[in-house]
Amino acid sequence: MASLEGFSLQTSGDHAYGIVSQSIGGGGGTGGAASAYDAGPGFSMAVAVGGTGGGGGSGGAAAANVSNASVATGSSDAHGVVVQSIGGGGGAGGASVAQAMTISVPDGESSFGVAVSFAMGGSGGNGGAGSTATATLGNAAIKTQGANAQGVIVQSIGGAAAWAAAVRPRQR
- Strands (E) across 19-151 are located at 19-24, 34-41, 43-49, 62-65, 70-73, 81-86, 96-103, 105-107, 110-112, 114-120, 133-136, 141-144
pLDDT the model gives residue 113:
87
Higher-pLDDT residue of 133 and 7 is 133
Q: Is it the case that residue 120 has pLDDT exceeding 80?
A: yes
Read off the pLDDT of each residue in 124-145 and give the average, rounded to a whole number: 95
Q: Is it the case that residue 172 has pLDDT exceeding 70?
A: no
Q: For the chain, give percent helix, strand, coil, nearest 5.
A: 0, 45, 55
Q: Is it the case that residue 18 has pLDDT exceeding 80?
A: yes
Position 141 confidence tier, pLDDT thresholds 50, 70, 90: very high
Q: Is it the case that residue 58 has pLDDT exceeding 90?
A: yes
Q: Is it the case that residue 168 has pLDDT exceeding 80?
A: no
Q: How far apart are CA 28 and CA 124, in angstroms?
A: 9
Query: What is the pLDDT of the chain when averaged over all its residues?
Result: 92
Q: How far apart are CA 82 and CA 74, in angstroms?
A: 16
Q: Is it the case that residue 103 has pLDDT exceeding 70?
A: yes
Q: Is it the case that residue 20 has pLDDT exceeding 80?
A: yes
| Model-wide pTM > 0.85 | no
CB 127 within 8 A of CB 90: yes
Least Cα distance to 25 among 86, 92, 91 occurs for 86
* Domain ranges for the chain: 2-167
Residues for the chain: how many in total?
172
Higher-pLDDT residue of 88 and 171 is 88
Read off the pLDDT of each residue in 48-69 and give the average, rounded to a whole number: 95
